[in-house]
Amino acid sequence: MMNYFPRARRLALLRRVLLGLAVLASAVAATVVGFAVYLFIQGYSGGGNPQSIAALAFPIAFGVLTVIGLPVALVCAATWAGYFTAASKSRQLPPCLAGRIPGDRRG
């Protein structure tokens, strides 16, 4: 029965770390998508100037989304899935062994 205490602490620590990583990965994903949208808009605002590099903004935007955005989105999804898995595992422990008071909803 004493094995539950270290397990509860490990799950709580893992849950906090995964939450931090998930929030950080979400912020990075939002930044990458925002930059790609900025490049996409930049491609439209080039006008008729033949010396404008706006025509390169479209391929660069798709390249940024493909090369950087897709892996960041996968990391973001994996960290959120890990956080929700760790949270559900910590909820499965009995309240007295997980360090929580029965009936306490702050968990």
pTM of the model: 0.74
Residues 7, 18: Cα–Cα separation, whole Å: 16
| 8 A C-beta contact, residue 46 and residue 57 | yes
pLDDT at 100: 53
Q: Are 93 and 4 in contact (CB under 8 A)?
A: yes
- Nearest 10 degrees: Cα torsion 22, 27, 32, 37: 130
Cα–Cα distance, 63 to 85 (Å, whole number): 32
CA atoms within 13 A on the CB side of 95: 8
Which residue matches tokens 């929580």? 100
The token pair that represents 36 in the structure block: 């790609």
| pLDDT tens column, 9-52 | 888 888 999 999 999 999 999 999 999 999 888 887 766 666 77
Which pLDDT does position 31 carry in this prediction? Answer: 97
